[in-house]
Amino acid sequence: MLSPALVLAFTLYASHATALPVVPTSTFSPAAALSSTPSYDWTDGYISEFTIHSSCNATERHELSFGLEQAVLVARHAKEHLLIHGNESVVYQKYFGQGPTAPVIGWLDKIATANRAGLIFRCDDPDQNCATQLGWAGHHRGSNATSETVICPLSYTSRLHLTALCARGFVFSTGKPNTYWAADLMHRLYHLPAVGEGEVDHYADTYADLLSLPQGTNYTNAGKNSASLSYFALEAYAYDISVPGEGCAGKVEHDDHDYDVVSSTVTSAATITMSSEFSTLISATPAVAAATTSAAAAANCHTHDDGVVHCS
């Protein structure tokens, strides 16, 4: 169990974005003596909410705001999971091997806490990709508008909320984490230079590939791999909150233990089997062809496990 002090610390931390702790000044402090100088508010410019563009209608706005809240929730939870368990977390070891936790904590905090000023989600189709690119659920506007993300209508009919995590037969070994708003929007946020800083990138996208990304002491790419960060955040939430102490990792061939895919044994990730009882449900998510009608626009795109194309 958490000590009450730790719970309090996290509660304060989680709420600090809106209510920063006020430091009492004593009568004789130098700060008090200087208080007649023009005040400098170091938090000036901090915006705690993402901007949802006026092109989003009422229901799109609700879905998107709720989805973004869930992306922030799982990122914050995963960060706190690491602050408590460190590299002893079996979920952490599965995705990042022997790598240090601090870089991962930092990338998670970029989504959990960092300034959202100027980060815009829109629902119109300014680059005409929703209309012309088969199966696109959204895209980063790239050089057309580096802080803007377009969410296409397909997202609103295919994304799930966190309440469905570990339900409906979903397991990580065979499911599509990007089916959940939380993981999908974390990935989209990392495409924004203000969030991913051009460092978080697509080093491995399929589940088997990202599990084999950390190799011994060669773990650097795992720690800044977009899908590793979002899948880890979703699975930490599944393990701690959705089904406490169990999660829904799914089975790996050759071993009954859900978490045998740690550190150097991850090379066996490629042997992950499909659980036939769940495959029907999982393939019922929009399985779309990667076919595109514009090779130029597709240049910076990649197909995820969920079959939906995402673009940088």
Ligand X SMILES: *[C@@H]1O[C@H](CO)[C@@H](O)[C@H](O)[C@H]1NC(C)=O
Task: Compare residues 150 and 165 and give the one whose CB is closer to ligand X.
Answer: 150
Of residues 247, 286, 283, the one with CA closest to residue 95 = 247
**112 near ligand X, rule: CB under 6 A:** no
With CB under 6 A, what is the number of residues at the site for ligand X?
A: 21
Q: Among the candidate windows 102-110, 166-174, 212-220, 271-279, which touches ligand X by CB under 6 A?
A: 212-220
User: Is the Cα torsion angle 46, 50, 55, 56 positive or negative in sign?
Assistant: negative
DSSP letter, residue 254 = T
Q: In the set 135, 142, 169, 286, which binds ligand X (CB under 6 A)? A: 142
What is the distance, to the nearest Å, from the Cα of residue 110 to the centroid of all Cα atoms in its chain? 10
Q: Which residues pair with 225 in a beta bridge?
A: 201
Q: Measure the CA–CA gap between 187 and 181, rounded to whole angstroms.
A: 10
CB of 137 to ligand X, least distance (A): 11
**144 near ligand X, rule: CB under 6 A:** yes
**CB of 136 within 8 A of CB of 293?**
no
Taking each continuous run of H as one helix and of E as one strand, the counts in the chain are: 14, 6
Q: In the set 53, 78, 127, 250, which binds ligand X (CB under 6 A)? A: 127
**CB of 233 within 8 A of CB of 108?**
yes
Q: Among the candidate windows 27-35, 52-60, 240-248, 282-290, which touches ligand X by CB under 6 A?
A: 52-60
CB of 34 to ligand X, least distance (A): 41
Q: Among the candidate windows 51-59, 173-181, 243-251, 280-288, which touches ligand X by CB under 6 A?
A: 51-59
Q: Measure the CA–CA gap between 230 and 149, rounded to whole angstroms.
A: 17
CA angle centred on 62, ends 112 and 300, rounded to 5°: 60
**213 near ligand X, rule: CB under 6 A:** yes
Structure tokens at 183: 């993981």
Q: Among the candidate windows 19-27, 46-54, 57-65, 167-175, which touches ligand X by CB under 6 A?
A: 57-65
CA angle centred on 22, ends 18 and 23, rounded to 5°: 150
CB of 257 to ligand X, least distance (A): 16
CB of 167 to ligand X, least distance (A): 24
**39 near ligand X, rule: CB under 6 A:** no
Question: What string marks each residue from 63 to 102 as x (binds ligand X by CB under 6 A) or -?
Answer: ------------------------x-----x----x----
Q: Among the candidate windows 10-18, 37-45, 66-74, 136-144, which touches ligand X by CB under 6 A?
A: 136-144
**205 near ligand X, rule: CB under 6 A:** no
Q: Among the candidate windows 10-18, 210-218, 227-235, 273-281, which touches ligand X by CB under 6 A?
A: 210-218
Task: Compare residues 122 and 175 and give the one whose CB is closer to ligand X.
Answer: 122
Determine whether 284 is exposed, middle or buried from the number of CB atoms within 10 Å of its CB (0-12, 13-18, 19+).
exposed
* DSSP run (H or E) holding 309: strand 309-311
Q: Dihedral, CA atoms, 237, 264, 190, 115, nearest 10 degrees? A: 60
| Interacting positions 238-297 with ligand X (CB under 6 A) | 297
**57 near ligand X, rule: CB under 6 A:** yes
CA angle centred on 226, ends 224 and 227, rounded to 5°: 125
* DSSP run (H or E) holding 15: helix 4-15
Task: Compare residues 19 and 296 and give the one whose CB is closer to ligand X.
Answer: 296
Residues found near ligand X in the complex (CB under 6 A): 57-60, 87, 93, 98, 127, 129, 139, 141-142, 144, 153, 156, 213, 215, 218, 221, 297, 311
